[in-house]
Each structure stands twice: as structure tokens, then as C-alpha cells.
Structure 1
Amino acid sequence: MLTDRDVARWRLATQRLVAPHHGSVLDVVTGLLAVQAENRGQSGWSVASRTSGRTAGELDELLAEGAVVRTHVLRPTWHYVAAADVDWLLRLTAPRNRPVFERQLADLGLTSAVLDRAGVVVLEHLATEPDRDRTELAAVVAAHGIALTGHAFMLFLGLLELDRLIVSGRERGTTHTYARYADRVVAPSRFDREEALAELAWRYLGGHGPATERDLAYWATLTLTDARRAIAASRHRLASFEHDGRTFWHDPAGAPPSGEEQEPAGHLLLLLDEIYRGYQDSRMVLDVAGIVPRGRETAIGIALVGGQIVGSMRRTLGSTVRFDVEAYRPLGPVELAALEAAAARYASYLDLPPVLTVRS
């Protein structure tokens, strides 16, 4: 009989956080369909940690080429998405997210006429000078006498992303830039809405499963009705089981891990990592012991051992990379060794010496 711990370990395998890992960054992004990328400096590790090479440059190259884009899609936040998938995903999910941006802009006193004028200015500028950052684009808009700054300007750019008018350009160092969507995304949408729902369910559950219909609805900002329709349309490609009063769906090729130890055993990850943020309904299979504080999330990162959260984690960069773990319970020697190994892998990716402190 499956337990929550079994489901958590199964997800580690599905998401390739344990061996066998994916062979490339593009395989990771395609396999997960979308990877939360709110924190550009740390989300790269969320991708690289699922590959056998674990190098930083591969994601940078894919973003520069445009094979992977970083844009607002699914939930109203940043995600890495393969360019081949971004068009149909935006067509499917943007209608649910667009009102969020519109309401906030309206609350700030911005009218559609002002936003339309600003949009024309941005697109005309990017047509001749692509790969401009937010500060540069704000200055261009201001030079045309349009009062649109700060948080309002960020919301405005998000709206242009949802409307498939702009998308990530070539980064300049660590600076995110924008380019015209039509110049960077050349793959046309391949699905009508019903086909897109079916593809979404298949790809999400294939890359994140086992998961529930409510997990899917949360992840893709779908109504529960649409999530159920999506799963029904993909049912012939999926398998399921009942657990804890819910139906969990997954790729039939997947199976619960054996009792053998998974490698690596420990992980130091962002709270935004797909192993945590990729679910809501059944997220806390990661906390069988019930030791993680409930309520408002205050942690930035998590420490995992054996598919269970054992503490919060904060990363600090300097001449070293420091990982400060606040353990939710005393950890044994094997668990501490797993976190030491996780710190060493992460530090190697950053080409810095690691320092790990664990307090309980």
C-alpha cells in the first residue's frame, strides 16, 4: 500500500532530482513543461540539478539562442519554457492571468488608452533595438511623455508578455532583457483549446506525477472543471491510483521506487522549486512527520533528505557559497552527510567552495 513518503520519492524520480537524471537542460524544461524562474540567480540550479552535467552555462546558452524563454506563463509569475511550447501555453493560460494584471494596473489609475500607447512605443523601440532591459524601456516610454514607472511598469510588461507581444531577449550578464515575441518565438501554436488542455494534462502529469486534478488546476491556473476535462482528454495515456481519498494520475511508464536508497539522497533547493511549488493539493507529501510550519511561508529554500523536508535553507554568496539550514528536528549523521553532499554539488555548479551550517 502506497504511503505519502512513497509518493514523494516517486516524484523525485519523475522530476529527475534523483538518478537517472536528464541529459540536458532542454530535456529538463521540456520534461517539466515549465519551470518556475522567479529568482533568476537561483532558479538555474533548479534546472541544472536535474541534469547529469550540472553546469550553469547550458541554460544561459539556450536563453541566448531563444530555444528556452523566460516569461510570465501559467501562474502570473516567471517560468522557463521551451520556445516550442510557449505559444500554446500562453494561448491556453493567459486568459485566466490577464485580469490579475489588468486589475492591479486599473487600481494604479492606468487606463487602457495609456497602456496601448505605451505598448506601441515599446514594440517600435524593440523592432530596431532588441534586448533592452526594463530600465531602458521605462526611459523610452517616459521620453514619450507617458507616466508609467516602478511597479506599474513591471505589471505593464507582464501584460505585454501574456499578450504574446514581448518575451525574454538575450541576457546581458545577469540582466534580463526583452525582445519582440514575433522575433524570438517562431513556432506557431499547434493545438486548439481542447487539444491544448489534453497536452497540458499529459505533459504536467508525465513530468510531475503522481499528482491530483487539484494540483494540475493550481499549477496551470485552470478552473477545476478545465483540469478535469484536461485529464479526461488524456485519460487513455495516463494511469491512476487512489490514495488518501484522492485520485493520483501519472505516466503509466512510471512506478513507485523500490526500497533502495535514491541518489542523491539530499537536496538544497529554492522553495519555488517544482518539487514543492509544482503542487498545492498534495504538496505536503514532503512532510510526513508534520514538522514543517504551516501558514504563511517565510523560508526561501528547503533542505530535503529522502524526499522529506528536514529544514529551511538560505543561500548566501561571497568568496564562498554559504548554506544556512534551520533544521525542524535534530538530524542524524547520515542526514547531515546527505546535506553536505548536496552543498558540495551546488557549490561545484557555482564554482565556489561550500560552507554548510545546520542548526536545530
Structure 2
Amino acid sequence: MISRHALNRATLDRQLLLRRHSMPALQAVEHLVGLQAQAPFPPYFGLWSRLDGFRPEELARLLEQREVVRIVLMRGTVHLVSAADGLTLRPLTQPLLTKYLLNAYGTVMASLDLDAVVATGRQVLAAGPLTGAQLGVRMAEHHPGAGATDLSQIMRMLVPLVQVPPRAVWGKAGQTAYATVESWLGREPHPAPSLDDLVLRYLAAFGPATVADAQAWSGLTRLREVFDRLRARLVVLEDEHGRELFDLPDAPRPGPGAPAPVRLLAPFDNLLLSHADRSRVISDDHRKRVITINGQVLGTVLVDGFVQGAWRRDKAVLTVDMFAPVTAGQAEEIRAEAAALLAFAEPGKAHDIRGI
């Protein structure tokens, strides 16, 4: 049986959060199977909380050199992933995206020749990246009677499109503009990616986990058959509720007593979004305070491995909102992490830490 605290420490270890690692940013992005990236800059803070000496210029350079991309993948959300993973993961998640599209645009799609719509979108984008609005308007010129917004959304869900720089480049600003993954990377998506490999990589980054956890992370269904196929290669554990959890035989499980330092997690951090049962890192009550009704996910404070507060930054001012009392030593550790985050985000400026 594996306890909740042991599960917590195992997950934090996989997530590179029990200590900061000396690891290239690209290697970390691949190990984590990407970072959720609806907003442009949370991935920078996600890597800062995990890597020793990480500088924003490293990730910005990877974006500009097309070694990492921003693309819709797991759960139908934008993720920052390596170029190789963008080409491999998008075909695996396409059934989910097609299902989302059918649910939202089924009536509209029924009146369209989807092959023709996709061909039009690809032709329009061949001239260079476009914003969603520009893409829709130009597609509508070829499909009279169809709404430009509808056409743009259909294209974005049926075709792997990447969000191109300067969007999400540290220190720069830019509208969201799209290019096809083939034109941007000069390579085609993987023709036959493996669901088995996807599950194994999930366990390496988020395990031990149940089938429901893997489905919550990916947005895919019917993964039970994948786990059953892999069962002989996995360790099978049982949690405090008698649920079956799967893990890699050689994956680290440091035990419930392993020290867990204070960490300030990025907004939208996948640690909080990648399990059906999130109690391994956050209570249900605290989750309601962190994930807002409009889908925002606040930056959070980990104390002894669990979410105990939230943080917000306004330039060089960082405000902490703790959900429960902490010791004097923990408060000092939170302030030190907050100061380090501000030094990372706003170097050379006077910093102000509030609420702790």
C-alpha cells in the first residue's frame, strides 16, 4: 500500500520539485511531457521552479530556433513541448480534439466539405503565419456563407498549428499567430505514434497513477486496455482507498519522509491538473481557491509538498495568500523563494513581497 504522503513525494520527485536540477531546459520540457501554456509566460516560471540556474533567455532561444513549440495537445489545451513531441503527441491527441470540435461545431461542420476547408486553410497559411482572425477571414473568401470564426476554429482543431514567435518569447509581445507544424518544423507529424509510449512517459513524469489519472491528464478515453497491455512491464500498487496504481519498476519512490522544500509553482502548472484525484498535492477546498470559475489556475505555494497558498505578481510586487498558518521557518523559506522569483522575473529592480 502506498500512502498519500508517499504518493506526494514520488510525484514531486518525477516533477523535478524535490530539488532543483542541473538540466538543460529542452531535456526538462521533454521529461515533463511539456508544460501547459495557455498564457505566454507560465512555462518560464515552471522551469525556474525546477531547474538550477535557469534563465528565461534559454527557453526564448529554443522557441525562436524552433526547438520547442506551442501547440494544442493534451486536454485540448495549449502546451509548450519539444519539436519532436509536437510531431508525436498531436496525432495521439487528435481524436480528442475532433470530438471537442464535433460537440461544439457539429451543426456547422455538417454543412461543410471539411476536406475542402482544410485544404483552403493550408493554402492560405502557405503564404506565412496568420492570426486566427486573419486566417478565418481569408478562408471565408473561399467558402461563402460560412462564418470566418467558425472556419478558423475548425482549422485550428483539425490541423496541427503552432503558435509562432514573438508570441511567448520572454521580453517580447505579439499576437497569437499560427503556422502549420509541417511548414514551421520542416517535418511531417509522426505517422504511427505509440499510445503505449505515451502512457509510459506519463508515468515517468506523473506516476504512480491510476488509469483515470492518465485519462484526466491526456483527455483521452479507453486507456484501460493500454494499461492492461503494459501490466507485465509495470509495478502495480494500491493506495489508501484500495485503488490500483501503476508505475515504472525503476521509477523513484523516495518515501513519505523525504524532505520537500517550499516551491512557488507557476500558474497553470501541470502538477495540479494531471490526475483525476489531485489530493496527492492539493485538497479539494484549496483547489476551489486556486482554479477559478473562468478556468484560470493561480500560481501556488507548496509547503511540505502540498499546496498551502497562492501567489500573484504585478511586475516587481509579489503577493502571497496563505490558506493555513505556517511556521516561522516556513514563512522565511517562502519569502526566500518569492525573492528569488522576483530576482528572476524583474532583475535589478527593487522588490516588494507582501502577505507573508
Q: TM-score range by the shorter chain?
A: 0.7 to 0.9
Name the counterpart of 2:223. 227
Whichever residue aligns with residue 122 of structure 2, its letter is: L
Name the counterpart of 2:210. 212
What count of residue pairs does the alignment treat as equivalent? Answer: 341
Cα deviation for residue 190 of structure 1 reads 6.0
Name the counterpart of 1:311. 309
Whichever residue aligns with residue 126 of structure 1, its letter is: L
Name the counterpart of 2:244. 247
Contact 2:290 2:298 in 1 (8 A): no
The verdict on how the C-alpha distance between 1:293 and 1:72 changes in structure 2, with shifts beyond 3 A counting, is closer
For the pair 1:77 / 2:77, whether they are aligned, the reply is: yes
Contact 1:170 1:178 in 2 (8 A): no
The verdict on how the C-alpha distance between 1:112 and 1:316 changes in structure 2, with shifts beyond 3 A counting, is farther
- Deviations along 1:305-355, one digit per CA (max 9) or x if unpaired, are 1211111222322xx1x3322221122212212211221232232134543
Cα deviation for residue 118 of structure 1 reads 5.5
The verdict on how the C-alpha distance between 1:287 and 1:295 changes in structure 2, with shifts beyond 3 A counting, is closer
**1:116-265 equivalence runs, <5 A:** 119-128=118-127, 130-141=128-139, 148=147, 152=150, 155-160=153-158, 163-164=159-160, 166-171=161-166, 173-175=172-174, 176-185=176-185, 186=187, 188-189=189-190, 191=192, 196-223=194-221, 226-244=222-240, 245-257=242-254, 259-262=257-260, 265=261
Contact 2:129 2:179 in 1 (8 A): yes
Contact 1:171 1:177 in 2 (8 A): no
Cα deviation for residue 296 of structure 1 reads 9.1
Contact 1:126 1:132 in 2 (8 A): yes
The verdict on how the C-alpha distance between 1:8 and 1:174 changes in structure 2, with shifts beyond 3 A counting, is farther
Q: Give TM-score scaled by structure 1 length.
A: 0.83
**1:260-275 equivalence runs, <5 A:** 260-262=258-260, 265-275=261-271
Name the counterpart of 2:278. 283
Cα deviation for residue 286 of structure 1 reads 1.8
Cα deviation for residue 14 of structure 1 reads 0.9
Name the counterpart of 1:44. 44
RMSD, matched Cα: 2.9
Percent identity over the alignment? 26
Whichever residue aligns with residue 99 of structure 2, its letter is: P
How many angstroms apart in 2 are the aligned matches of 1:153 and 1:5?
A: 48
How many angstroms apart in 2 are the aligned matches of 1:112 and 1:81?
A: 35
Of 347, 352, 357, which residue of structure 1 is paired with 2:354?
A: 357
How many angstroms apart in 2 are the aligned matches of 1:314 and 1:157?
A: 35
Name the counterpart of 2:3. 3
Q: Which runs of 5+ in 2 are unaligned?
A: none
